[in-house]
Amino acid sequence: MSLYSSLRWAEAVVAALVLTGVVALVSWATVTRYLGHPNIWVLEVTQVLFAWTCLLAASIAFRRSSHFSVSLLEELLPPKLRGLLRLLQQIVMLVLLVVLGWVGLDFVEVAHRRPLPLTGIRFSWVAVTIPVACMLMGITCIENIVRELRTPIETGSDEETS
């Protein structure tokens, strides 16, 4: 298995486990409260897992290109230019992800000083989801760029000659 596909596999498994964990913990909290023995730490752990669910899921959606967009220009452009537009999209997103990931690391530093009150889990465990998601999506971007550059040479060469 290539590095990229094992990364994708690991991400899918971890994300599924985390989502299942959120559902299980919230159900557990409901039942125990009903029975009169509520778990006081569950809410905190759930919120940490919820952050991971959201951001890992964002990366999965990004890999599947299911983030919602408006394909207005792409439909209008002649087929030759579409590849170029896709390349531009990926590059702009990569830049945004790098900047956000970088700024996100600053916030991780701030968040690391704050322990969650009951469990003592550092808030950086939540904050770090942003740079991690940026990194994962950035890798997908690079993968897409490489694929775009490799696909039918004629598109690219047409561009340069015409």
Partner 1 sequence: MLLLGILLFVLAVVIGLPISFALLLASAPTFLTGDYLPTSIAVQKMVQVTQSYPLMAIPFFVLAGNIMTESGIARRLVDFSRVLVGWMVGGLAQVSIILSLLMGGIAGSAVADTAMQSRLLGGPMIAKGYSKGFTAGVIAYSSIITATIPPSIGLIVFGFIANVSVGKLLLAGIIPGLILTVALMGYTYLAARKMGYGAEDVELPTWGDVYRSGKAAFWALMFPIILLVGFRFGFFTATEAGAFVIVYALVIGAFVYRDLKWSNLWSALQQSLSDIGMIMLIIIMAAVLGHVIVLEQAPTRLASALAVLSDDPTVTLLLILGFLVVAGMIMEATVNVLLLTPLFLPILQAQGHDPIHFGVLMVTIITMGGNTPPIGVGMFTVCGMLKVSIKDYIKGSTPFLLVMLSAFLFMALVPNVVTWLPNQMMGK
Partner 2 sequence: QDYTMRIGSVQAESDPIIKGFNKFKELVETGTEGSVEVMVYPNGQLGNTQDLMDQAQAGANVAAFTDAMRLASFLPKFGIIGAPYVFADYDEADKFTSSDEFWSWADELKENSGFVTLAFNWYQGPRNLLTNTRIESRADVEGLRIRTPGAPVWVAAGRTLGGTPTPLDWAEIYSAMQLGAIDAVEAQPAGIVGSRFYEVADYLTRTEHIQLITGIVVGETWWDQLPSEHQDVIRNSAVEAGRYMSDLVIEQSKKDFATMEENGMTLSDIDLSEFKEVAAKEIEALDLTEAYENVRAVVDGD
Task: Please state the closest distance from residue 135 (CB atom) to partner 1, in A.
Answer: 14
Q: With binding defined as CB under 8 A, does residue 110 bind partner 2?
A: yes
Asked if residue 123 lies in contact with residue 115, where contact means CB atoms within 8 angstroms, the answer is yes
Q: How far is the CB of 96 from partner 2 (least distance, A)?
A: 21
Nearer to partner 1, 1 or 161 (CB): 1
Among 45, 83, 129, 138, binds partner 1 (CB under 8 A): 129
Does 43 bind partner 1 (CB under 8 A)? Our answer is yes
- Classify the C-alpha dihedral 133-135-136-137 as positive or negative: positive
Neighbours of 111 (CB within 10 A): 17
Binding partner at 85 among partner 1, partner 2, none, C-beta below 5 to 8 Å by kind? partner 1
List of residues 6+ apart from 38 with CB closer than 8 A:
29, 32
**126, 47 contact by CB (below 8 A):** yes
Is residue 78 within the footprint of partner 2 (CB under 8 A)? no
In this structure, is the dihedral angle defined by the CA atoms of residues 89, 92, 98 and 103, taken in order, positive or negative?
negative
Which tokens go with 41?
């730490």
Euclidean distance between CA atoms 79 and 77, whole angstroms: 6
Asked if residue 23 binds partner 1 (CB under 8 A), the reply is yes
- 7, 87, 100, 132: residue in contact with partner 1 (rule CB under 8 A): 100
Indicate whether 40 belongs to the interface with partner 1 (CB under 8 A). no
Query: Which amino acid makes up residue 81?
Result: L
Q: Which stretch binds partner 2 (CB under 8 A): 58-66, 73-81, 110-118, 129-137?
A: 110-118
- Applying CB under 8 A, which residues contact partner 2? 33-34, 36-38, 40, 42-44, 106-107, 110-111, 113-118
